[in-house]
Structures are given as structure tokens and as C-alpha cells.
């Protein structure tokens, strides 16, 4: 069916623009409803130049980017150190600190909340290590205990504040599930400072953190202060958690630590790249989450950010070039199919060899007998060979004729198999009747270099342990020097 490409692309373009406009409208319309247009100062003029008009939108996007970076960078260390539960506990334990920070001035003072939350976080991790050191309770129990107890204190304070009928306290419940729109200029400044600190420290101390995370014993022996590095990391972690609270919420911050970093973990084999990727994924999920929560009326931001990050993780899980489940399955399938083709080729070679290479084509029945399978199965295999240009079918598909490429492959496989058998019997001194199965597996994976090495080591032997001829390089390439693919002669006839 032939369409008209230009009109399709036009329609597509139009639809895209419409969609964008539709999405933009609530974004801006809502922004106008949500935030007061606050007084602009000199520093905010600078922000204004960058992109959006509404300050509320800018703060939200800016904040999401910043928290994405912080959480991504620190989360990477959490993931490789297997400290996911610690992140979870820390993010719940800060709640009482948030409440107390609020109570300090009876208003949403970013600095007070930051300090309060950080102190609560530090107290929490301190309590966990106290419990593990002084009782026989294990770390996971201590973490769960501190997580829930501190959170309960926070809830008591929160509900108490709610009933104290204090104005402006509605801002406090936003800390439970996050509201990016509530980020103000002071919040953004704080987030920027903390994120800059995190970036600088990770850059400066990269090799120290890397070594201390990978092999703390070796790091100590090399003279590095591993304990201090750990405490420092915990403190930075507390900072990152606290600045992310407003946008993501107490309950879900730990997901922003773990999920982007886990996605990055699946996408690369190097820590430096993992850090960069985690920050990137964090930023993307952050902005996506902020965007989505702006679309609705009073929707919490945290869940959207987490779901966006989880989506990226799911994509990495499935399609990562090296680790992806789908990718690996596909590769395995291709490999299995290739092995099947090579086994068919080998069987054809054996049939030809058994007739002294007289005649060029092999009937399906001969092949079925050799492979001990049904004619139908063999017909399917022959079809596969034809599809890959390794053979051609004649006489209504009952005769199989190898192409030059097919012949080369078949002879190479047989050579590999017999060389390997010879090697095993001579060098590894395995009995001749034991080597066949090994060789069946190895024949498909020997690379050219290894084969050359084998031939050299075995002095270019001509016969395998069972007395059969090992095809040499000339036999494999000779027959088709004339370049005519339908040349039926010179097929390896004994010279």
C-alpha cells in the first residue's frame, strides 16, 4: 500500500505541535495558579534569562535537575556498596527533623528545615550503629527499627502541628510525597550549594571513594582513612536526602537514590561512567516527574519522579547492550541458531566424505539418516542454510548443494573439531573415545588465531585420532579459486 509520505509527515508534524501546545498550556496555566510571582532580585534576573517565564516552573525544573545530580551521584555509591536499606532508613528518619525545623520559626524556613533534617539523619545513622555495636541485633533489624521509630516521632510532631492551627503549616504535608512547585528561590539556592558540594567532593575524592568502596581493607593498608570517608559519604547522603525532600517527599527519596543508579549500573562497566549516567537519569526523571505533576491539580511530584526513574530502569533492564535481558536472549537465540546451521553443514560434509567426495549434492534422506532426524526437520534446516546463502536447494528441495561459503564453513568446522580432538588426545592425553563430546562444543567457538596456534602446535597434522583426514587450509579454500559458484568440480575430490 503506497501512502503519500509528505502528507503523512505533515500530519505527524502537526499532531506533534498540537500535542506540545496542549502539554505546554496546562504547564504554564497551572504554574500561574500555583506560585505567587515572587519579587525578583538581581540573582533571579539571571535565572530568568535561561528559559521559562514563570519562576515557579523554573524553580521546579532547576530543583529537579539539582536533586537528580545529587541523588544520582551519591546513589551510585549506595548501590555498589549494597547500602540500599541505609538510604531508605535515612530518608524516613529525617521526618522529625523536618517537623522541628519548621517549628523553629513556625514557618517554612529552608535553612532551619535543612539543619533539623540533617541532624535527625545523623542521629538516625548514629543510633543504627549504636544498636548494632551494643546488642546482638543485626543491621537490617536496626535499620528498620530506626526507620519506623523516627518516622513515628515525625508523624506525631506533624499531626500535632496540624492540630495546633498554625498558618502556613499546609506546606509541611507536602514533604510527605513531594511537591516540586513548592520550591522557592531560597530552596533552590540551598539545593545548588549542596549539589555543588557533592559534585566537588565526588570529583576531588573520586579515587579515594572508589577504592574505599571496592576494597576497604586494601584502602586502609594503602593509608587511606576509610572510616572518615564512610562518615563523610553518610553526611553527604544526608544532605542529598534533605534537599530532595521537598520535591520527592520523605517516603520516596530513597527510590531516587537507588533507581537511577541501578539503571546506570546496568548500562556500563566503569564507575566513572556509572556516576555520570546516574546523574543524567536522575536529572531526566526529576524533570519528567516535575512536568507530570504540573499537569494535574495538586498532584504530588514524588511518585511521578520515581515512576519515571523506574521506567528508565526497566528500559535498561530489558535493552542494555551488555546486560539487557532481551538483548541477551536475542544473542543466545542467534548463537543457538548459528550452531544448528553449522551442525547441518558438518553433517553434509560427513555425507560427502563418506562417499569419497563423489557427487556434489546431498539428498535430504541421506542427511536425515546422518543426523538421525526426520525428513521434515532436515528440510527445515536445509531451508535455513539456503536463507543464509550457505546452500542451494534443487529438485523440489530434495537435494542440497553447498555454496562456496557453505563449503568453507563446513570444512572449517570439521577441521576445528578434528584438530581439537587431536589436541586433546596428544597434549591433554585424553583417551580417543572421550574427546568427541568436548570437541562438539569447542568446534563452534574456536577463533582463527587459536586454530592457527593449534595447527602449529600439532605440526600441521593430517589425520585426527580416528584416522580421518583433517581439512587443511588448501582444502577449505581451493575448490572455488575459479570464482564460479556453480562450479561443481574441485569440491574436495581427493588429489
Partner 1 sequence: MKDLIPPFNAQEVLVMPWTDGLANFGWIALMGFLVAAACGLIGNYLILRRMALVGDAISHSVLPGLAIAFLLAGSRGTLPMFLGALAAAVLTTLIIEVIHQKTRVKQDAAIGIAFSSLFALGVLLISLFADKVDLDQECVLYGEIALVPLEPMTTLGASTLGPPSVVRMALVAVVVLALIGLFYKELLVSSFDPGLAATLGINATLVHYALMSMLSVVVVSAFEAVGAILVIAMLILPGATASLLTHRLPRALGWSVLHAALSSVLGVHLSVWLDCSVAGAMVVMGAVLFALVWVFAPEQGQIARLRRHRADATGTA
Partner 2 sequence: MPNAVSNMATPERHPPAPRLMPMPDSAALPVTGPDTPLEVHDLTVAYHKKPVLWGIDLAVPPGRLVGIIGPNGAGKSTLIKAVMGLVPLSSGWVKVFGEPVRRNFTRIGYVPQRESVDWDFPVTVMDVVLMGRYGRLGLFRRPAKRDLDIARECLEKVKLLPFANRQIANLSGGQQQRVFLARALAQESDLYFMDEPFAGVDAATESAIVTLLHELKARGKTLLVVHHDLATAREYFDTLLLLNMRVVAFGPTEQVFTHELLQKTYGGRLTILSEVAEAVKAKAE
The residues of the shown chain that bind partner 2, judged by CB under 8 A, are 80, 82, 204-205, 207-208, 210-211, 213-215, 217-224, 265, 268-271, 273-274
CB 378 within 8 A of CB 371: yes
Residues 383-442 that bind partner 1 (CB under 8 A): none
Residue 53 CB coordination number (10 Å) = 11
Name which of 277 and 390 has its Cβ closer to partner 2: 277
| Interaction of residue 38 with partner 1, rule CB under 8 A | no
**Closest residue by Cα to residue 169 from 123, 103, 89, 71:** 103
The least distance separating partner 2 from the CB of residue 269, rounded to whole angstroms, comes to 4
| Interaction of residue 159 with partner 1, rule CB under 8 A | yes
CA–CA distance, 4 with 300 (Å, rounded to integer): 44
**Mapping DSSP to helix (H, G, I), strand (E, B) and coil, where does residue 349 land?**
helix
| Interaction of residue 185 with partner 1, rule CB under 8 A | no
| Cα angle, residue 182 at apex, residues 178 and 184 outer, rounded to 5° | 130
The cell for 298 is 495538586
- Read off φ and ψ for residue 418, nearest 5 degrees: -75, -35
| Interaction of residue 111 with partner 1, rule CB under 8 A | no
The least distance separating partner 2 from the CB of residue 465, rounded to whole angstroms, comes to 24
Among 179-187, 229-237, 259-267, 420-428, which window interacts with partner 1 (CB under 8 A)? Answer: 259-267
The least distance separating partner 1 from the CB of residue 135, rounded to whole angstroms, comes to 6
Among 3-11, 66-74, 251-259, 346-354, which window interacts with partner 1 (CB under 8 A)? Answer: 251-259
Q: Which helix (H) or strand (E) segment is 422 a member of?
A: helix 404-426
The cell for 152 is 513515628
Strand segments, DSSP code E, in 255-409 are 361-363, 391-394, 399-402
- Read off φ and ψ for residue 285, nearest 5 degrees: -65, -35
Name which of 192 and 307 has its Cβ closer to partner 1: 307
The least distance separating partner 1 from the CB of residue 82, rounded to whole angstroms, comes to 5
| Interaction of residue 88 with partner 1, rule CB under 8 A | yes
383: Cβ contacts below 8 Å, ≥ 6 apart? 393, 397
The least distance separating partner 1 from the CB of residue 363, rounded to whole angstroms, comes to 44
Please give the span between the terminal C-alpha atoms of the chain, in angstroms, as a whole number. Answer: 57
The least distance separating partner 1 from the CB of residue 233, rounded to whole angstroms, comes to 16
The least distance separating partner 1 from the CB of residue 333, rounded to whole angstroms, comes to 16
Name which of 57 and 158 has its Cβ closer to partner 1: 158
| Interaction of residue 303 with partner 1, rule CB under 8 A | yes
CA–CA distance, 406 with 412 (Å, rounded to integer): 10
CB 61 within 8 A of CB 292: no
Per partner kind, with CB cut-offs from 5 to 8 A, the member of partner 1, partner 2, none near residue 92 is partner 1
The least distance separating partner 1 from the CB of residue 303, rounded to whole angstroms, comes to 4
Q: Residue 51's Cα: distance from chain center in Å?
A: 32
The least distance separating partner 1 from the CB of residue 177, rounded to whole angstroms, comes to 6
Contact code string over 313-352 relative to partner 1, x by CB under 8 A: x---x-----x-x---------------------------
Per partner kind, with CB cut-offs from 5 to 8 A, the member of partner 1, partner 2, none near residue 210 is partner 2
DSSP-assigned beta bridge partners for residue 361: 401
Kindly list the distances between the CA atom of residue 261 and the CA atoms of 60, 221, 246, 467, in Å, as whole numbers in the listed order.
22, 29, 21, 58
Name which of 103 and 243 has its Cβ closer to partner 1: 103
| Cα angle, residue 83 at apex, residues 282 and 68 outer, rounded to 5° | 10
Q: How many residues sit in the footprint of partner 1 (CB under 8 A)?
A: 62
CA–CA distance, 54 with 486 (Å, rounded to integer): 74
- Read off φ and ψ for residue 82, nearest 5 degrees: 60, 45
Residue 301 CB coordination number (10 Å) = 30
Per partner kind, with CB cut-offs from 5 to 8 A, the member of partner 1, partner 2, none near residue 159 is partner 1
Name which of 217 and 483 has its Cβ closer to partner 2: 217
The least distance separating partner 2 from the CB of residue 193, rounded to whole angstroms, comes to 21
| Interaction of residue 90 with partner 1, rule CB under 8 A | no
CB 416 within 8 A of CB 442: yes
Name which of 218 and 329 has its Cβ closer to partner 2: 218
The least distance separating partner 1 from the CB of residue 187, rounded to whole angstroms, comes to 22
CA–CA distance, 341 with 332 (Å, rounded to integer): 14
Q: For binding to partner 1 (CB under 8 A), which residues are involved?
A: 79, 82-85, 87-88, 92, 103-104, 106, 131, 134-138, 140-141, 143-145, 147-149, 151-153, 155-160, 163-164, 173, 176-177, 251-252, 254-255, 258-259, 261-262, 265-266, 296, 299-300, 302-304, 306-307, 310, 313, 317, 323, 325
Amino acid at each position: 500500500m503506497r501512502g503519500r509520505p509528505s502528507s503523512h509527515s505533515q500530519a505527524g508534524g502537526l499532531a506533534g505541535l498540537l500535542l506540545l501546545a496542549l502539554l505546554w498550556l496546562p504547564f504554564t496555566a497551572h504554574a500561574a495558579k500555583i506560585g505567587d510571582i515572587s519579587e525578583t532580585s538581581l540573582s533571579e534576573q539571571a535565572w530568568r534569562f535561561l528559559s521559562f517565564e514563570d519562576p515557579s516552573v523554573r524553580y521546579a525544573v532547576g530543583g529537579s535537575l539539582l536533586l537528580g545530580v545529587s541523588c544520582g551521584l551519591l546513589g551510585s555509591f549506595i548501590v555498589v556498596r549494597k547500602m540500599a536499606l541505609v538510604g531508605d532508613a535515612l530518608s524516613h528518619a529525617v521526618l522529625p527533623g523536618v517537623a522541628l525545623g519548621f517549628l523553629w520559626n513556625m514557618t517554612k524556613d529552608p535553612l532551619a528545615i535543612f539543619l533539623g533534617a540533617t541532624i535527625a539523619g545523623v542521629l538516625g545513622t548514629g543510633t543504627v550503629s549504636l544498636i548494632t555495636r551494643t546488642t546482638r541485633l543485626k543491621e537490617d533489624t536496626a535499620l528498620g527499627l530506626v526507620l519506623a521509630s523516627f518516622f513515628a516521632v515525625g508523624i506525631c510532631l506533624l499531626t500535632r502541628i496540624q492540630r495546633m492551627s498554625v498558618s502556613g503549616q499546609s506546606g509541611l504535608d507536602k514533604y510527605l510525597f513531594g511537591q516540586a512547585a513548592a520550591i522557592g528561590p531560597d530552596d533552590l539556592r540551598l539545593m545548588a550549594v549542596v549539589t555543588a558540594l557533592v559534585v566537588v567532593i565526588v570529583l576531588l575524592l573520586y579515587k579515594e571513594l572508589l577504592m574505599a568502596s571496592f576494597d576497604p581493607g586494601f584502602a586502609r593498608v594503602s593509608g587511606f582513612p576509610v572510616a572518615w570517608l564512610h562518615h563523610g559519604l553518610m553526611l553527604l547522603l544526608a544532605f542529598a536526602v534533605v534537599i530532595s525532600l521537598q520535591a520527592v517527599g520523605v517516603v520516596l527519596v530513597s527510590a531516587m537514590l537507588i533507581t537511577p543508579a541501578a539503571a546506570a549500573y546496568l548500562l556500563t562497566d566503569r564507575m566513572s561512567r556509572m556516576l555520570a549516567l546516574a546523574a543524567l537519569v536522575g536529572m531526566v526523571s526529576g524533570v519528567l516527574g516535575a512536568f507530570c505533576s504540573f499537569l494535574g491539580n495538586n498532584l504530588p511530584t514524588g511518585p511521578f519522579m520515581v515512576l519515571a526513574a523506574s521506567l528508565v530502569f526497566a528500559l535498561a533492564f530489558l535493552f542494555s547492550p551488555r546486560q539487557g535481558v532481551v538483548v541477551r536472549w536475542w544473542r543466545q537465540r542467534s548463537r543457538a541458531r548459528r550452531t544448528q546451521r553449522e551442525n547441518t553443514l558438518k553433517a553434509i560434509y560427513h555425507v560427502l566424505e563418506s562417499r569419497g567426495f563423489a557427487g556434489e549434492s546431498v539428498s535430504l534422506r541421506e542427511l536425515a539418516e546422518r543426523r538421525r532426524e526426520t525428513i521434515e526437520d532436515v528440510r527445515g534446516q536445509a531451508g535455513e542454510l539456503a536463507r543464509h546463502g550457505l546452500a542451494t536447494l534443487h529438485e523440489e528441495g530434495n537435494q542440497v548443494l553447498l555454496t562456496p561459503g557453505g563449503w568453507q564453513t563446513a570444512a572449517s568446522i570439521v577441521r576445528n573439531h578434528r584438530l581439537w580432538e587431536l589436541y586433546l588426545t596428544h597434549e591433554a592425553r585424553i583417551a580417543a573415545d572421550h574427546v568427541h563430546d568436548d570437541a562438539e562444543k569447542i568446534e563452534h567457538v574456536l577463533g582463527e588465531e587459536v586454530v592457527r596456534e593449534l595447527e602449529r602446535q600439532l605440526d600441521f597434522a593430517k589425520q585426527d585420532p580416528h584416522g580421518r583426514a583433517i581439512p587443511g587450509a588448501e582444502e577449505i579454500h581451493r575448490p572455488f579459486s575459479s570464482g564460479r559458484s556453480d562450479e561443481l568440480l574441485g569440491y574436495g575430490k581427493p588429489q
